Structure formats: C-alpha cells, structure tokens
Chains A and B, each alone.
Chain A
C-alpha cells in the first residue's frame, strides 16, 4: 500500500463509523436516510481502494440512486419521526 491509500483508508473508516452511529441513533428518519447514503458513498471508495472496481460501480449505482429513492418513498408512506 502506498501512502496515499493509507491516508484515504483512515479518513474513510472514521467517516464510516460516524455515519453508522448517525443512522442508528437519529430520531428524524430523513437524517438516517442521508447517513445511509453517506455510508454507501464511502463503501464505494473502500471497494475502489481494495481494487474491485466492478463492485464499486454496482455499489454506486444501487446505493446512491435506488436505495435512497426506496427509503424516501417508505418514509413518505409511513411517518417521519420515530417514537420514543
């Protein structure tokens, strides 16, 4: 591994943990959907660094477009705020 990949791996792993905590802990479900989208973004970068560009391409197409639309439609059809 070169130095550049080490820098990017550290930054993306920290972001991955933070966004995971956000997606679980937030009561407003729109914030949780945005956090899930960030997780998919960073996972795509991790797959890219591990030299699997086809998996990264699939993760990009599904994670950022399809799953966000499905989650938003689900939130619209149920309710926005989680119960205590």
Chain B
C-alpha cells in the first residue's frame, strides 16, 4: 500500500515537471498562465492524498481553500489580457 502511494505521487510529480517545462518554454503569457492553472489543480490532488497519508482530517481544509479561491487569479490575469479589467 505504501508502494502504491509512492508510485502515485511520483507519476503526478512527473506530470508537474512537464508543466514546469512548459512554464519555462512558453512563448506567450497565456501559456504560462495555463501552466499555473494546471499546477494548481495538480497541487489540490496532491494535498488531499498527503492529508490521507498523514491521517489528519484538518489538513483537507487547505485543499478546500485552493478549490474555492484558486481560479480568481487566473480570471484576473485573463481579464487583463482581454483589456477589460
């Protein structure tokens, strides 16, 4: 069971590394914002899994705050790129 979660976390980290490479390469600002969005969603999943591994119920709250507030920054940057803020 422990090996299962090690594999899970490693595979999600590999996906996060790909998103980081896109964040470094990305030619325009939109690509970087999209990489930020994907990283934030991956972080929500990783935080819930870590809270399960540490057996603390209160640790889920951080993930809940990310799910509620995480999209505000992306929407603000998108409105700025549109020119309508």
Contacts and interface: CB of A to CB of B under 8 A. Distances in A.
Interface of A: 2-4, 7-8, 11, 15, 18-19, 22, 28, 30-31, 33-35, 37-38, 41, 44-45, 48-49, 51, 53, 56-57, 60-61, 64-65, 68-69, 72-73, 75-76
Contacts of A68: 72-73, 76-77
B1 interface: no
Contacts of A38: 23, 36, 39
A69 B71 CA distance: 12
The B interface is mostly helix, strand or loop, or mixed, namely helix
Interface in B1-53: 5-6, 9-10, 13, 16-17, 20, 23-24, 29, 32-33, 36, 39-40, 43, 46-47, 50, 53
A76 B80 contact: yes
A33 B77 CA distance: 9
A34 B61 contact: no
B79 to A, nearest CB: 8
B16 A69 contact: no
Contacts of B32: 31, 34-35
